[in-house]
């Protein structure tokens, strides 16, 4: 260390405290990085790597970025999973003795970044912390630092269950203790989730933040807040009380089911389009969009709370003009939650306070419109709106209508707010008017039309005359100040006198104005809770307006709930599929699960619509329990406590799990956690293994769900052998998705009908996919062979005969006579035969087969 220069020694001392972060070390107008930080950052950011003499034997690697454009570089590093420590000068260089003092003022991490082009303001950006309460029980707390929202829940299950919940919430960073870091590090790194260790004492939380939390889950909250305070190094007054997500009050949807049902993210594209969120989101505010997503993540399971939302949605549907008026006013409301966060952390600009003021101006009109409604539900909702008059009054008096982005160059504070500032502005204004008059007088006195008065920071104010016009000037009045290539710059005594007045007024005014702005911003912190409560009410209104708009547009109906388990959906539709196709072409289907028959076994060909039918039932339940109308003619629903699905097949490459293993693990999780009030959707369980293995597993699962759990269940399969279970399981009913053959082609009717399907039409589907015709023809021939229990395998070396076995017992291969009878059965025109002809034909078949047996 002693061999390095004092500045490099200072850098190394700071870096030693932040080894896991890139250190952005402020030097003048740049953030500089040195040593390995510089080498790695230059590669990631694609900037030039240079070097400098640091006092050691060799030059030190170095790279840097301009401080005024550092945000984009920081965002790139954080997006790639790195942390950035911002080290600023904390001492005025003019008064520093020796090297300027520098300190880290903020650490930006994947979970705490709040600004940038990659930050979607319509989505929560959570950072979480997890504490293991006991074996297979974790307390998971999470906060959106930009809005102050905090939630905590108990995750029951192994580490994989915990990881699924973290993924479902799209967290980029998780704070843990050392013992959990070891357990989770590999899995999290594969998923690009940063694990941060917090081993210090948890932050003692105020009663306000934890008043409704059981003691067992407080440690994760305390650990998270301690980490946030250590990294942000600023006040976090905007953090809201942690909401305890209790399983009893919500419809639980695990991460796998959220993915399978495509609630907020498309399986195919990973984006929003094609999801339930995409269908329902017609919100006009960013905070409304975030609340919409939170509703979908955690639907209600309290019937009274659901009915309250449905009542408001129904009243909004009935009053179109009120709905449009409310939406127009809400469009003018900015993101109150994020504005509150910036104010609390001291990063709000004049533009932010202006947006807050403009938003609060719209609130009285929104409240009045609701109060004047004829609906008691809407007038009651209006009573929850606080117009924040005190905060609005302060902002109206202090903040200019169109403040600049910069907070240190003036123009933020209104005239009349502060008498001293007004005096400075008056002096500056008159001084500038005097300069304009002086310029005009000098032009008239000298006759030089292009004479001008200018200013720069080094020389101050000056009179500039081009060299071609110097002979016209009275140089006895001018004192030369600066010589340029094509002009001379002069000063006069009176100009010098005014310069001091103007510059002093400008500098003093800007300094005072910045102090006033900071004072107003600090005073606004006292109103943050009120503004946050307002934002919660307005975002809820935005979501309910969106529900009403979508429900009217797509002709959804209000669902009805009852205390039992029966589920009756008449002519239901998959709302997302319907939106993406022509509404008139969509085939609706009913679903009936009764108290005595709450398990459907669904058969039918691929592409016929089995999975779509199952998903639409689940989406109808979810939409109903978030308080939205539903896509059907009528719906009578039970209150569902959990939804589990196993739909689709995809290997989990991140953890090295095969499709079949994923299928079994998801099925195990569902069966282990489901109750009689749950909804289970299983699509073609067992297809990832051999036929008999798969069939056995599927039947055993159905029997267990039927006998032990009793949950409403939709179970689709291609194993037609399972359809006999309706004679053994009293609550099971066979249904199928219909298809017919026309001219050798399959036509999907997409209609769910009673009974089991008679064929799978797999080869027809392959033909629709334009598989080469030789393959199709060969498959048809093989199918005939398979169905007659004879398998012929051809190879370059000839053919060999294989027989089917069922356990130890060989199945007898059909004889030529038997095949002849089978062929006659297939060709017979049964509908045009008389009863006597039919009896004679059957007698002839019997005699043929008898003769064959006697010959043997």
Output the six-digit token pair for 256. Answer: 């796998």
What mean pLDDT, rounded, does the chain reach? 86
Window from 354-368, 406-420, 458-472, 835-849 with minimum mean pLDDT: 835-849
Average pLDDT over residues 474-490: 89
Residue among 842, 839, 587 nearest 737 (CA): 587
pLDDT of residue 610: 87
> Is the model's pLDDT at 481 over the cut of 70?
yes
Q: How confident is the model at residue 758 (pLDDT cuts 50, 70, 90)?
A: low
pLDDT of residue 834: 65
Judged on CB neighbours under 10 Å (0-12, 13-18, 19+), 48 is exposed
pLDDT of residue 488: 93
pLDDT of residue 326: 97
CA–CA dist 238, 470 (Å, integer): 63
Tens of pLDDT along 706-743? Answer: 999 999 999 998 777 888 899 999 999 999 888 776 66
Top-confidence residue, 818 or 221: 221
pLDDT of residue 18: 94
Tens of pLDDT along 493-513? Answer: 888 878 877 878 888 888 999
> Is the model's pLDDT at 812 over the cut of 60?
no
Edge to edge, the sheet with strand 679-683 lists 252-253, 642-646, 679-683, 712-716, 599-603, 732-742, 745-754
Kindly give the residue spans of alpha helices, DSSP state H, lying in 197-349. 207-210, 218-232, 255-261, 276-280, 286-297, 303-318, 320-330, 336-344
Top-confidence residue, 444 or 769: 444
> Is the model's pLDDT at 796 over the cut of 70?
no
CA–CA dist 149, 341 (Å, integer): 10
Output the six-digit token pair for 640. Answer: 């569902």
pLDDT of residue 651: 39
Q: How confident is the model at residue 392 (pLDDT cuts 50, 70, 90)?
A: very high
pLDDT of residue 795: 36
Three-class SS of 430-466: HHHHHHHHHHHHHHHHHCCCCCEEEEECCCEEEEEEE
Average pLDDT over residues 584-599: 90
End-to-end CA distance of the chain, in Å?
102
706: which DSSP letter? I
Window from 368-382, 664-678, 736-750 with minimum mean pLDDT: 736-750
> Is the model's pLDDT at 344 over the cut of 80?
yes
pLDDT of residue 3: 82
pLDDT of residue 791: 38
Top-confidence residue, 284 or 822: 284
Q: How confident is the model at residue 187 (pLDDT cuts 50, 70, 90)?
A: confident
CA–CA dist 755, 762 (Å, integer): 19
What percentage of the chain reaches a pLDDT higher than 90? 52
CA–CA dist 746, 608 (Å, integer): 10
Q: Is 608 annotated as a binding residue?
A: yes
Highest mean pLDDT range out of 460-464, 636-640, 842-846? 636-640
pLDDT of residue 354: 96
CA–CA dist 463, 477 (Å, integer): 12
pLDDT of residue 800: 40
Tens of pLDDT along 91-109? Answer: 887 787 788 899 999 999 9
Output the six-digit token pair for 365. Answer: 């009109």
Q: Is 359 annotated as a binding residue?
A: no
Q: Is 607 annotated as a binding residue?
A: yes
Query: Buried (b) or exposed (e) across 521-550, using 16+ Cβ within 10 A?
Result: beebbebbbbbbbbbbbbbbbbbbbbbbbb
Q: Is 258 annotated as a binding residue?
A: no
pLDDT of residue 650: 46
> Is the model's pLDDT at 690 over the cut of 80?
no
Q: Is 605 annotated as a binding residue?
A: yes
pLDDT of residue 593: 96
Highest mean pLDDT range out of 256-260, 430-434, 805-809, 841-845? 256-260
Q: Is 117 annotated as a binding residue?
A: no
Top-confidence residue, 604 or 521: 521
Q: How confident is the model at residue 693 (pLDDT cuts 50, 70, 90)?
A: confident
Q: Considering only the C-alpha atoms of the chain, give the largest distance between any 2 of them, rounded to a whole number of Å.
A: 143
Q: Is 710 annotated as a binding residue?
A: no
What percentage of the chain reaches a pLDDT higher than 70? 87
Query: 413 - beta bridge partners?
Result: 399
């Amino acid at each position: 260390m002693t061999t390095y220069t004092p500045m490099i020694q200072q850098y190394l001392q700071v870096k030693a405290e932040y080894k896991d972060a890139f250190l952005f070390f402020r030097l003048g107008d740049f953030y500089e990085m040195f040593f390995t930080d510089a080498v790695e950052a230059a590669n990631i950011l694609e900037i030039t790597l240079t070097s400098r003499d640091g006092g050691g034997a060799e030059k030190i690697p170095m790279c840097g970025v301009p401080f005024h454009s550092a945000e984009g570089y920081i965002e790139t590093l954080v997006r790639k999973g790195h942390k950035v420590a911002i080290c600023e000068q904390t001492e005025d260089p003019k008064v520093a003795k020796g090297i300027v003092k520098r300190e880290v003022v903020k650490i930006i991490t994947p979970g705490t970044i709040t600004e940038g082009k990659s930050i979607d303001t319509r989505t929560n950006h959570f950072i979480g912390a997890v504490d293991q309460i006991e074996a297979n029980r974790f307390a998971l707390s999470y906060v959106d630092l930009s809005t102050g929202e905090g939630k905590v829940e108990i995750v029951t299950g192994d580490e994989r269950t915990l990881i699924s919940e973290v993924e479902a919430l799209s967290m980029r960073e998780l704070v843990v203790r050392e013992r959990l870091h070891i357990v989770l590090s590999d899995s999290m790194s594969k998923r690009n989730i940063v694990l941060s260790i917090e081993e210090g004492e948890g932050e003692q939380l105020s009663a306000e933040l934890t008043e409704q939390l059981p003691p067992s889950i407080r440690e994760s909250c305390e650990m998270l807040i301690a980490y946030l305070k250590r990294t942000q190094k600023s006040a976090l007054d905007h953090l809201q009380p942690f909401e305890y997500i209790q399983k009893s009050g919500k419809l639980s949807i695990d991460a796998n089911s959220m993915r399978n049902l495509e609630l907020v993210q498309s399986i195919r594209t990973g984006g929003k389009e094609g999801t339930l969120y995409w269908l329902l989101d017609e919100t006009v505010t960013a905070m409304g969009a975030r609340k919409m997503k939170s509703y979908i993540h955690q639907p209600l399971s309290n019937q009274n709370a659901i009915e309250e939302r449905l009542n408001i949605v129904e009243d909004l549907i009935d009053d179109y003009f009120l709905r449009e008026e409310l939406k127009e006013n809400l469009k003018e409301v900015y993101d109150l939650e994020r504005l509150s966060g910036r104010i609390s952390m001291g990063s709000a600009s004049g533009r932010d306070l202006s947006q807050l003021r403009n938003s609060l101006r719209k609130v009285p009109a929104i409240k009045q419109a609701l109060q004047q409604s004829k609906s008691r539900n809407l007038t009651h909702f209006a009573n929850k709106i606080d117009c924040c008059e005190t905060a609005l009054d302060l902002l109206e008096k202090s903040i200019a209508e169109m403040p600049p982005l910069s907070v240190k160059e003036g123009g933020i504070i209104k005239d009349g707010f502060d008498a001293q500032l007004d005096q400075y502005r008056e002096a500056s204004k008159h001084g500038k008017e005097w300069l304009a008059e002086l310029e005009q007088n000098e032009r008239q006195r000298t006759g030089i039309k292009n004479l001008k008065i200018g200013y720069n920071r080094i020389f101050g104010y000056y009179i500039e005359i081009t060299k071609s016009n110097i002979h016209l000037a009275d140089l006895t009045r001018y004192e030369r100040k600066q010589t340029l290539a094509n002009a001379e710059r002069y000063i006069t005594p009176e100009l010098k006198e005014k310069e001091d007045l103007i510059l002093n007024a400008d500098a003093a005014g800007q300094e005072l104005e910045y102090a006033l702005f900071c004072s107003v911003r600090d005073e606004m912190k006292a109103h943050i809770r009120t503004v946050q409560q307002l934002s919660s009410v307005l975002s809820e209104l935005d979501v309910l307006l969106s529900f009403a708009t979508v429900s009217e547009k797509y002709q959804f109906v209000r669902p009805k709930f009852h205390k039992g388990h029966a589920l009756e959906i008449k002519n239901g539709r998959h709302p997302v599929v319907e939106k993406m196709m022509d509404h008139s072409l969509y085939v609706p289907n009913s679903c009936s699960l009764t108290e005595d028959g709450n398990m459907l076994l669904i058969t039918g060909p691929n592409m016929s619509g089995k999975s779509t039918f199952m998903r639409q039932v689940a989406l109808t339940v979810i939409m109903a329990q978030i308080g939205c109308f539903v896509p059907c003619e009528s719906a009578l629903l039970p209150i569902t406590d959990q939804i589990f699905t196993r739909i689709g097949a995809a290997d989990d490459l991140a953890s090295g799990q095969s499709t079949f293993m994923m299928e079994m693990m998801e099925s195990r999780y569902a069966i282990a956690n489901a109750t009689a009030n749950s909804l289970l959707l299983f699509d073609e369980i067992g297809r990832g293994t051999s036929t008999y293995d798969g069939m056995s597993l599927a039947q055993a699962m159905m029997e267990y769900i039927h006998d032990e759990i009793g949950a409403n269940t939709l179970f689709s399969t291609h194993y037609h052998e399972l359809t006999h279970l309706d004679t053994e399981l009293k609550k099971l009913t066979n249904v199928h998705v219909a298809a017919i053959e026309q001219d050798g082609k399959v036509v999907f009717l997409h209609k769910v009908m009673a009974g089991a399907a008679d064929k799978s039409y797999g080869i027809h589907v392959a033909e629709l996919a334009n598989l080469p015709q030789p393959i199709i023809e060969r498959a048809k021939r093989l199918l005939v062979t398979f169905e007659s229990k004879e398998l012929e395998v051809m190879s370059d070396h000839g053919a060999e005969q294989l027989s089917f076995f069922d356990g130890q017992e060989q199945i007898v291969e059909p004889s030529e006579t038997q095949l002849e009878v089978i062929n006659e059965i297939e060709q017979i025109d049964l509908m045009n035969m008389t009863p006597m002809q039919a009896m004679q034909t059957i007698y002839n078949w019997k005699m043929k087969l008898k003769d064959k047996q006697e010959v043997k």
